[in-house]
């Protein structure tokens, strides 16, 4: 428990706040100091791995683009494959799409139609859970392809944006929680 606490603290201390990026009023949580440091990157993946090796995960679904970093390392640890949720227009084969509202306008994400085996037990992963719009769209796509979403995992959660409630009843796990902006 103590080890877990200090692991979280080390990761939290490495995350860099960038004010007003990508636009005024947003505090961007920059995870590059974690992935650039071999020990910290391994620590983050180990925390996820220790949790999910007991949950019979059969496939990782990772969200464009920073979800790919943690998702692929975790898939390697768990011995699963990795399916990708990409921004519209990036995937070459047949796709299904889901759109969600942003503060201004909408966003669309896509998956390949054959990227999930029906019945597969899926873990969705991304770096940040903010409003939950992106992860909810990922849940919609996985279910449309017949997958079973076991849980959604994030390096960090901005809990003041209530993404967890939007994702419910899909269980959420985050290593680090920010309760205020
Ligand atoms: P949302 O759909 O609002 O939950 O936003 C989640 C997606 O946007 C994730 O793919 C994140 O990488 C990115 N994101 C949202 N807010 C932030 C933030 N404050 N810092 C870094 N990334 C963010």
Long-range contacts of residues 26-30, Cβ cutoff 8 Å, at least 24 apart: 27/181, 29/127, 29/128, 29/156, 29/158, 29/178
Say whether 66 is catalytic.
yes
Angle, CA 72 vertex, CA 101 and CA 123 arms, to 5°: 55
pLDDT at 158: 97
Q: What is the CATH number of the domain that holds 165?
A: 3.40.50.2020
Say whether 12 is catalytic.
no
Please give the tally of structural domains in the chain: 1
Long-range contacts of residues 95-101, Cβ cutoff 8 Å, at least 24 apart: 96/141, 96/144, 96/145, 97/141, 98/137, 98/138, 98/140, 98/141, 98/144, 99/137, 100/133, 100/134, 100/136, 100/137, 101/133
Supply the range of the domain harboring residue 107: 2-178
76-112 tens-digit pLDDT = 999 999 999 999 999 999 999 999 998 778 999 999 9
Q: Which of 103, 100, 94 is nearest to 135 (CA)?
A: 100
What is the whole-number distance in angstroms between the Cα of residue 53 and the centre of ligand 1? 26
Strand partners, 157: 129, 177
Distance CA 35, CA 73 (A): 11
Residue 66 Cβ contacting ligand 1 at under 6 Å: yes
Q: Which of 24, 130, 158, 178 to mutate to test the pocket of ligand 1 (most atoms within 8 A of CB)?
A: 130
pTM score: 0.97
Q: Which residues of the chain have pLDDT under 50?
A: none
pLDDT at 102: 87
Distance CA 74, CA 153 (A): 11
pLDDT at 5: 85
What is the whole-number distance in angstroms between the Cα of residue 160 and the centre of ligand 1? 13
pLDDT at 3: 67
Distance CA 57, CA 122 (A): 6
Contact 121, 58 (CB under 8 A): yes
Length of the chain: 181
32-42 tens-digit pLDDT = 999 999 999 99
């Amino acid at each position: 428990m103590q080890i877990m606490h200090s692991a979280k603290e080390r990761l939290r201390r490495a995350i860099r706040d960038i004010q007003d990026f990508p636009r005024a009023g947003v505090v961007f949580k920059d995870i590059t100091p974690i992935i650039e440091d071999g020990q910290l990157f391994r620590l983050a993946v180990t925390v996820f791995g220790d949790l999910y090796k007991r949950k019979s995960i059969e496939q990782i679904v990772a969200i464009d683009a920073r979800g790919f970093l943690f998702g692929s390392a975790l898939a390697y640890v768990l011995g699963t494959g990795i399916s990708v949720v990409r921004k519209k227009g990036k995937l070459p084969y047949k796709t299904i799409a889901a759109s969600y509202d942003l503060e201004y306008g909408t966003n669309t994400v896509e998956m390949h139609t054959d990227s999930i085996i029906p019945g597969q037990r899926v873990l969705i992963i991304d770096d940040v859970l903010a409003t939950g719009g992106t992860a909810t769209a990922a849940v919609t796509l996985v279910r449309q392809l017949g997958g079973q979403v076991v849980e959604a995992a994030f390096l960090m959660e901005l809990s003041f944006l209530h993404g967890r409630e939007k994702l419910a009843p899909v269980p959420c796990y985050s290593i680090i929680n920010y309760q205020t902006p």
